[in-house]
Amino acid sequence: MKNCKRTTIGGQALIEAIMMKGPEKTAIAVRMPDGSISVEYMQEKRWNQKNRFLRLPLIRGAVGLIESLVSGYKAMMYAAEKSGFADMEEEEEREKREAKERKKAEKKARKAGMHNLQAASPLPDPAVGRPLEETAAMDAAPAAGQTAADGAAPAAEQALPTQEKKKEEKEESAFMGLLMGVASVLGVALALFLFMWLPTFIFNGINHLTGDAIGNWRSLIEGVMKMGIFVGYLALVSLMKDIKRVFMYHGAEHKSIFCYEAGEELTVENVRKQRRFHPRCGTSFMILMLIVSIIVAAILSIAFPILTKYTAVWVAIKILMLPIICGLGYELIRFCGRHDNILTKIISAPGMWLQRLTTKEPDDSMIEVGIASLKAVIPSDPDADNW
């Protein structure tokens, strides 16, 4: 079915949520722990609205990527907290700590010669239930061997002033923010290592062993290695349970946009039948950036072969070329979005194939989130979001 509209509205799959960005507003729809859907608008000032220079071809691609990373980080933090994912992570960490403490206590008890652990007073553990007989006895009266400390923790927790609890929640939120910030920095560092330094290091080693026999093929070989690393990484993370759900929400986002572009009513039934592979996806943008980087690196290595002789210089050059590569990749995506012919299909093909890894078939509850996020950003002027 041929789309009757191409929209500039785009989204990002989050943890149990979808962020949708329209020409006027950005909204996040989150599936709440109680099953309801919460829709909130992000307060943001888009950089390309502040300065005309940032809307120029080639410039707008790099600006858009940085802006997407910033807003995506904020949206991910919000979705993790709103959906209860952060609380689940904290609960899992607490359970792990308590499990370690129990093991230490049991080990200490064995060393002291206490072989009958069932007869001893159990360690307070709200995550693990007591035996049925012991529970019944405790319901009737306090156990004979129970100490005041056994019931003190819940009572003390209930006695905590509201202000102190709020302070603890604020500290936990700040810690989660710091943790996510550190993770983002480490993620960028890992990306630079994997896609900039590692392929060059491996190529130099192989080239040295072959007596510079493959020197003229540097850009192509490094590019193939980068693509292999990228595809391999996506294939591995797609096996993780939490990431797989994010990729399912990614599918819901694409299907919702396709339904809107087809001019059909945004219902679960109409969205469900749509395709999940979209030519203007961020995955397509990433693979196009890799292809463009191969071409740019080939031109530089041929024009200035001296640059490739020193690993540090060559890596630095590739990092400095990133804004240009982002800009070229973005313009290609725009071109493919505006035209539908054999050339654009060839350009879009690698990204469409790669979406088999990054998008999964969503369930109806995820489609509902996609519809809610999309409806929240559809402009009142039907032509305002034309691509």
Identify the residue whose tokens are 């996510």. Answer: 180
Average pLDDT over residues 111-138: 49
For the cut 50, the answer to whether the pLDDT of residue 128 exceeds it is no
What is the identity of the amino acid at 180? Answer: M
For the cut 70, the answer to whether the pLDDT of residue 300 exceeds it is yes
For the cut 80, the answer to whether the pLDDT of residue 142 exceeds it is no
Q: Categorise residue 263: left if φ over 0, alpha if ψ from -120 to 50, beta otherwise.
A: left
For the cut 70, the answer to whether the pLDDT of residue 113 exceeds it is no
What is the pLDDT, as a whole number, of residue 123?
47
What is the pLDDT, as a whole number, of residue 132?
38
For the cut 80, the answer to whether the pLDDT of residue 54 exceeds it is no
What is the identity of the amino acid at 321? Answer: M
* Pair of tokens at residue 148: 């005041």
What pTM value is reported for the model? 0.72
For the cut 80, the answer to whether the pLDDT of residue 75 exceeds it is yes
Average pLDDT over residues 257-277: 95
Per-residue pLDDT tens for 303-359? Answer: 888 888 888 898 899 888 888 888 898 888 888 877 788 988 888 889 899 999 999
Long-range contacts, 298-307 (Cβ 8 Å, 24+): 298/219, 298/220, 301/218, 301/219
Share of the chain above pLDDT 90, in %: 28
Cβ pair 15, 80 in contact under 8 A:
yes
Q: Which residues contact 37 (CB under 8 A, 6 or more apart)?
A: 29, 30, 31, 368, 369, 372
For the cut 50, the answer to whether the pLDDT of residue 149 exceeds it is no
Average pLDDT over residues 219-231: 90
Average pLDDT over residues 278-296: 87
Task: Give the H or E element holding residue 352.
Answer: helix 342-358
More confident residue, 182 or 26: 26
What is the pLDDT, as a whole number, of residue 30?
96
For the cut 80, the answer to whether the pLDDT of residue 364 exceeds it is yes
Query: Torsions phi, psi of 280, nearest 5?
Result: -105, 35
What is the pLDDT, as a whole number, of residue 163?
66
For the cut 50, the answer to whether the pLDDT of residue 270 exceeds it is yes
Average pLDDT over residues 47-65: 77
Average pLDDT over residues 270-287: 90
Share of the chain above pLDDT 70, in %: 76
Distance CA 46, CA 378 (A): 17
Binned at pLDDT 50, 70 and 90, residue 144 comes out as very low
Distance CA 276, CA 361 (A): 7
What is the pLDDT, as a whole number, of residue 143?
44
